Structure 1
């Protein structure tokens, strides 16, 4: 059996049903304007990931007749 792990972070929340984590993806867009100057614009996109804490039942049942 795997050990229990708990993450202590400002961006992580635990509920009875799920573990939610916020992640900010930082990137920079660069282009050349009409005067030939390179212009860099930083952007940030925030994502929220949710992982369900209870493992669902998954399976296939069936019969095969030959």
Structure 2
């Protein structure tokens, strides 16, 4: 039986990109920075899982 396909990584939303790039008039609070880092970690982990799945499928793993 083959593995189920993992979730396809989602892109960054425009609000997150603006905050990361320093947009807007106010600075990010420490809580917002932690939230941004958590979101980036989650997206990274999802991307790694998806990439591993694709490589496995190309390599012929069931």
Verify same fold: TM over 0.5: no
Larger Rg: 1
TM-score after normalising by structure 2: 0.27
Higher strand share: 1
Higher helix share: 2
TM-score after normalising by structure 1: 0.26
